[in-house]
Structure 1
């Protein structure tokens, strides 16, 4: 896994360079897509494994060609359709790959522009490519779990049955997650009635539904928050009392002068819980200093999320940062007040993700 992860990170660098320099499909193939196929363990110079410009006649259309066909033991395992890196993947490219999929024995297809890779299968109907990808991989922005998922397609671990099973699970998980995300943000009437029937005696009229909706939305937020915080508490407890000892920028203090308090730990876990909606929690880190406790993105003091000023016995403040890294202090009663400022935290984290 370590070697594969290094190869993927090398692909990320290639993709970023190609985004600046590759102007054509052929340039994108050379710069990113062929190295991508090779990183999956396939010999791009061996026609027994990787066949470029594979002819896939579709009905009356003769001479239709798939950019690459990947074979395992002489059988077609995957189709790869390539597009220029400045091309946005969408319906036109999907329709082309859809036609190719139908006339080959492949059960997997990849649509890629060297920046993203969309993975398709036939989980809805045999030998008919699904309309939605079951997995998408961003070459330039990804986490360890996504790299782990990508490793399923490596030649050394390729198992079509387990991939198809995972594809089906991923597809339904994504659809369920999208539905639940919508309900978290703005519960629809049907969802409110569904929950309402469990907690309200009597008919769920329109007025009752409108009355219940804010309470259901608040309950969902609390449930998610508590669940994430429980997981974070376990993780934090397993890590023991280990805290970051490096002072934040501009702070110089002896180790013995820095003590991460219970309130600072709680504040850190709450920030992680809030940020977990949009970012991997391992990217949210803590770095304590003498005068404040910094919560950072990627353990980088040039990416501050907030600062906890909890050392005073009389007053507590939290310093929130905007996308321009300007700090604004807010007086608080304790770490739980961080929840009142969740939007500020999500905004700055999203800005770092987009950078």
Structure 2
């Protein structure tokens, strides 16, 4: 029996083909959107489950139609608005679906172009569709956790209360993550004062705030490093081996005086943490040299992930490779800045995993 993950991977291939060949909304529906609804466990040929061109009259506007109304036990559970795959999802399509939402009993709405699916609910105000999706799914680029989240919408396990609860949690988690990421990059005055009141006696004046800001930013970086180290230690250790006091690769030294520095080790751990989503971390290896420290896939110098140029006492650079293995160097201030280039590092790794 085909698993849900296998069905989604088939959809990913359909989406890639459709992006090249589907020129209309109808072609997109046939190639991707109907198979997507079917993958969720609904019978697209049964009008009691999937009702195409569902009429949703809005005030004086008559004959307004939603592309699909998905029904469970005779009640409309979800609305699906389809767009051509070459159409970028945005405000216009959102406004259209927003109008449909409040005239039905549905509490879920999906806006999709066959490349992405945006999931909306009414967590902010009952029977009024939220302005932002609580979950987005990329048919062509997703991980197992996202597929697991998508599985909530299958007919066999559809539970609207738990979905709405999860939607609310996801919304607040996403907002909190965005806020904390901003503070990691550049703590604002309010955040500095909030932390400052816990660590400084007396008023938080402008001069005190300016003094505390770099210390708070450094503390945030340290927390992230410690969390990564803890997670990598658990991964290296496994369930049965005793925990080492410190997890680090072997430091290479030879007669030429090559020595791996603490910052290079930190950079290596960060690259491993970025790559852990795509491959076992033991496939991500390090080779140090005089001029740079190379991070490789499978200890193969023909599979460079990135390079760390940390030997200069004044500047640091990160070498990033494109699909043709052409290197571009970008300046960074500290090893933690490697996270800003996680997408490029993942892309380099992905090329070797699909080769």
Q: TM tier, shorter chain?
A: 0.7 to 0.9
**Structure 1 residues 92 and 204, CA gap change in structure 2 (3 angstroms):** same
Q: 2: CA distance between counterparts of 1:123 and 1:297? A: 44
**Structure 1 residues 130 and 343, CA gap change in structure 2 (3 angstroms):** closer
- Conserved in 2, the CA contact under 8 Å of 1:271 and 1:345? no
**Structure 1 residues 85 and 173, CA gap change in structure 2 (3 angstroms):** same
Indicate the RMSD between aligned Cα atoms, in angstroms.
3.6
Q: Shift in Å at residue 115 of structure 1?
A: 0.5
1:1-355 equivalences in 2 (<5 Å) = 3-238=3-238, 262-263=250-251, 271=268, 273-274=270-271, 276=273, 281-283=277-279, 285-287=281-283, 295-296=295-296, 304-306=304-306, 320-323=319-322, 324-326=324-326, 339=335, 342=338, 346=342, 348-349=344-345, 351-352=347-348
- Conserved in 2, the CA contact under 8 Å of 1:274 and 1:345? no
Q: Shift in Å at residue 291 of structure 1?
A: 7.3
- Conserved in 2, the CA contact under 8 Å of 1:284 and 1:298? no
- Per-residue CA deviations over 1:201-253 (Å, capped at 9, x if unaligned) read 21111121112111111111110121122012112210778xxxxxxxxxxxx
- Conserved in 2, the CA contact under 8 Å of 1:283 and 1:297? no
Q: 1: CA distance between counterparts of 2:121 and 2:218? A: 38
- Conserved in 2, the CA contact under 8 Å of 1:229 and 1:270? no
Q: Shift in Å at residue 110 of structure 1?
A: 0.3
Q: 2: CA distance between counterparts of 1:290 and 1:128? A: 53
Secondary structure of 2:3's partner? Answer: helix
- Conserved in 1, the CA contact under 8 Å of 2:272 and 2:284? no
Unmatched segments (≥5 aa) in structure 1: 242-259, 309-317, 330-336
Q: 1: CA distance between counterparts of 2:298 and 2:78? A: 36
Q: Shift in Å at residue 178 of structure 1?
A: 0.6
- Conserved in 1, the CA contact under 8 Å of 2:304 and 2:321? no
- Per-residue CA deviations over 1:74-93 (Å, capped at 9, x if unaligned) read 11110000001111111111
**Structure 1 residues 159 and 321, CA gap change in structure 2 (3 angstroms):** same
- Give the alignment's TM-score, normalised by structure 2: 0.79
Q: Shift in Å at residue 342 of structure 1?
A: 2.5
**Structure 1 residues 132 and 295, CA gap change in structure 2 (3 angstroms):** same
- Per-residue CA deviations over 1:109-168 (Å, capped at 9, x if unaligned) read 000000100000111111111111100000011000000000000111111111111111
Q: 2: CA distance between counterparts of 1:196 and 1:291? A: 42
- Give the alignment's TM-score, normalised by structure 1: 0.79
Q: 2: CA distance between counterparts of 1:35 and 1:301? A: 42
Q: 1: CA distance between counterparts of 2:23 and 2:140? A: 18
- Conserved in 2, the CA contact under 8 Å of 1:41 and 1:155? yes
- Conserved in 2, the CA contact under 8 Å of 1:51 and 1:68? yes
Q: Shift in Å at residue 319 of structure 1?
A: 9.7
Q: 1: CA distance between counterparts of 2:61 and 2:131? A: 22
